[in-house]
């Protein structure tokens, strides 16, 4: 029940930040903010994805200090590059890095009730800040609001962590921990390459060519798809921790993949129904067919890392990453190109992971889910029915091909 509450609050947190700000400030102002600070999000996401690997390699009580050490390295890199070119607001980056480290440590120590409190404070601070700024009670920019929203909950989280198990490695243990992390750094960056490319590098490239309004719109559209990891009732980090612990890992993987396919097919159909009833919002749902593909890629990646197949995951990331960079530079010229390229990238990544590692789902199923996703996105411009048919096919696959049964829902233990 607590995990479900965490997911709901995480989803709401992401949605209010990514929708309330552009809704109140406008897509143009939001686009200007993204254009000025897109590399801040790149460095923050880099830490967020890299640090998640610490759950599999560092003792829970040492995650906070280790992740703060990683955050310091990333901030120093950002500061050094900022001397050459403007990368964005360094204070915003520092607050976001601190937030990422604190939340990861809360998950590592399994302080789930305190995570709920953290997220409630996050939402409260954001709401109050937005009200103060929008009502002109105090002049607050988007950067100011995000600074307060990240920093105040972090002060609370630090107090909780140092009173509930977070510890500083001592002596040789401290040196050994930092050496271990530095040695793992190339592997961590390689494993996270694809997600960083499509989450942050693609918006950065688009910021050089797209009008700020379209840039803001693309960021909102992508935020909807990225919320897939929060939209599902079970937190991805909780799933990763369960995979690491071992017990019945392959059965857990099959069940979570089947349930996720059914769930996101229903979410997709609901989204299309909303787009039909409220056509003014249909443009924000352009990438709906990418939802199940993105989530399957996330879960497959975590499963393979937990199973000790990091090398093959790195090969998949480098292969797709090199092709993606070339494609971004050569073929992505406008908003429609970016939408299709985003979908193709994650479809190719999911297929590559399964071709290299064969984690248990039959390849024809993977090809169907992956290949038809970008096709449905392309055909949406002709008729929305193609997206609906794609989602219906996923329902059939989940129930008929993957043999999802009611008993499987009772066996979920994350």
pLDDT in tens, 269-327: 998 888 888 877 777 788 889 999 999 998 998 888 888 888 888 899 999 988 888 88
pLDDT at 391: 93
Segment 89-101 mean pLDDT: 88
- DSSP assignment string, 296-358: HHHHHHHHHHHTT-HHHHHHHHHHHHHHHHHHHHHH--SHHHHHHHHHHHHHHHHHHHHHHH-
- Checking 14-18 for CB contacts under 8 A at 24+ apart, the result is 14/223, 14/226, 14/227, 14/230, 15/223, 15/227, 16/123, 16/126, 16/127, 17/126, 17/146, 17/149, 18/219, 18/220, 18/223, 18/224, 18/227
Higher pLDDT, 248 or 171: 248
Q: pLDDT tier at 368 (50, 70, 90 boundaries)?
A: very high
Same domain, 380 and 240: yes
Same domain, 218 and 328: yes
Structure-block tokens of residue 383:
């008729």
Q: pLDDT tier at 367 (50, 70, 90 boundaries)?
A: very high
Q: How many domains does the chain have?
A: 2
Give me the sign of the Cα torsion angle 190, 49, 348, 216.
Answer: negative
Are 387 and 289 within 8 A, CB to CB?
Answer: yes
Which of 220-234, 244-258, 329-343 has maximum average pLDDT? 329-343
Same domain, 181 and 206: no
* pLDDT at 56 > cutoff 70: no
* pLDDT at 103 > cutoff 90: no
Residue 247 lies inside a defined structural domain of this protein: yes
Same domain, 174 and 272: no
Same domain, 221 and 171: no
Helix (H) or strand (E) holding 238: helix 236-245
Higher pLDDT, 307 or 168: 307
Segment 394-407 mean pLDDT: 84
pLDDT at 400: 86
pLDDT at 347: 94
Mean pLDDT of the chain: 82
Token pair 């002109």 in the structure block, residue: 136
Domain final residue pick, 125, 151, 185: 185
Residue 20 lies inside a defined structural domain of this protein: yes
Residue 192 lies inside a defined structural domain of this protein: no
CA distance 352 to 309: 14
Which 3-state string (H, E, C) describes 320-331?
HHHHHHHHHHHH
Same domain, 146 and 206: no
Domain region containing 27:
2-185
Residue 337 lies inside a defined structural domain of this protein: yes
pLDDT at 183: 67
Same domain, 228 and 168: no
pLDDT at 14: 75
Same domain, 143 and 67: yes
Segment 352-361 mean pLDDT: 84
* pLDDT at 369 > cutoff 90: yes
Same domain, 135 and 260: no
Residue 191 lies inside a defined structural domain of this protein: no
Segment 121-142 mean pLDDT: 85
Q: pLDDT tier at 23 (50, 70, 90 boundaries)?
A: confident
CA distance 398 to 265: 9
Same domain, 51 and 155: yes
Same domain, 216 and 353: yes
Residue 196 lies inside a defined structural domain of this protein: no
pLDDT at 254: 84
Residue 125 lies inside a defined structural domain of this protein: yes
Q: pLDDT tier at 170 (50, 70, 90 boundaries)?
A: low
Same domain, 213 and 152: no
Structure-block tokens of residue 172:
């040789």
CA distance 5 to 11: 10
Residue 194 lies inside a defined structural domain of this protein: no
Q: Between the CA of residue 195 and those of 13, 297, 327, what are the distances in Å?
A: 20, 10, 15
Residue 335 sits at φ, ψ, to 5 deg, of: -65, -45
Q: pLDDT tier at 55 (50, 70, 90 boundaries)?
A: low
Phi/psi zone of residue 322: left (φ > 0), alpha (ψ -120 to 50 degrees), beta?
alpha
């Amino acid at each position: 029940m607590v995990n479900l509450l965490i997911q709901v609050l995480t989803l709401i947190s992401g949605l209010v930040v990514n929708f309330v700000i552009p809704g109140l400030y406008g897509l143009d102002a939001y686009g200007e903010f993204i254009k000025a600070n897109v590399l801040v999000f790149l460095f923050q996401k880099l830490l967020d994805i890299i640090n998640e690997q610490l759950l599999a390699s560092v003792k829970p009580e040492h995650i906070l200090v280790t992740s703060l050490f990683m955050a310091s390295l990333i901030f120093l890199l950002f500061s050094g590059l900022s001397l050459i070119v403007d990368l964005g607001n360094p204070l915003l980056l520092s607050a976001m890095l601190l937030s990422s480290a604190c939340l990861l440590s809360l998950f590592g120590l399994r302080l789930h009730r305190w995570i709920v409190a953290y997220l409630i404070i996050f939402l409260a601070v954001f709401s109050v800040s937005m009200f103060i700024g929008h009502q002109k009670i105090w002049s607050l920019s988007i950067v100011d609001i995000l600074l307060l929203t990240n920093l105040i909950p972090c002060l609370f989280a630090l107090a909780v962590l140092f009173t509930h198990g977070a510890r500083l490695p001592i002596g040789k243990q401290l040196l050994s921990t930092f050496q271990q992390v530095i040695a793992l750094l190339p592997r961590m960056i390689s494993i996270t390459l694809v997600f960083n490319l499509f989450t942050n590098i693609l918006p950065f490239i688009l910021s050089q060519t797209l009008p700020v309004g379209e840039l803001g719109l693309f960021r909102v559209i992508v935020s909807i798809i990225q919320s897939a990891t929060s939209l599902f009732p079970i937190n991805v980090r909780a799933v990763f921790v369960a995979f690491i612990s071992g017990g019945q890992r392959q059965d857990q993987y099959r069940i979570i993949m089947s349930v996720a396919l059914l769930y996101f097919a229903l979410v997709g159909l609901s989204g299309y129904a909303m787009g039909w009833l409220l056509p003014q919002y249909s443009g924000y749902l352009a990438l709906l067919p990418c939802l199940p593909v993105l989530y399957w890629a996330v879960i497959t990646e975590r499963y393979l890392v937990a199973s000790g197949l990091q090398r093959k995951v790195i090969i998949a990331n480098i292969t797709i990453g090199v092709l993606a960079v070339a494609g971004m530079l050569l073929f992505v010229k406008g908003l429609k190109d970016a939408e299709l390229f985003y979908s193709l990238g994650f479809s190719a990544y999911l297929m590559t992971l399964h071709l290299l590692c064969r984690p248990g789902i039959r390849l024809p199923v993977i090809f169907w889910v992956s290949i038809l996703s970008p096709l449905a996105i392309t055909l949406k411009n002709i008729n929305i029915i193609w997206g609906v048919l794609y989602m219906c096919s996923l329902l059939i696959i989940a129930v008929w091909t993957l043999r999802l049964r009611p008993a499987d829902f009772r066996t979920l233990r994350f």
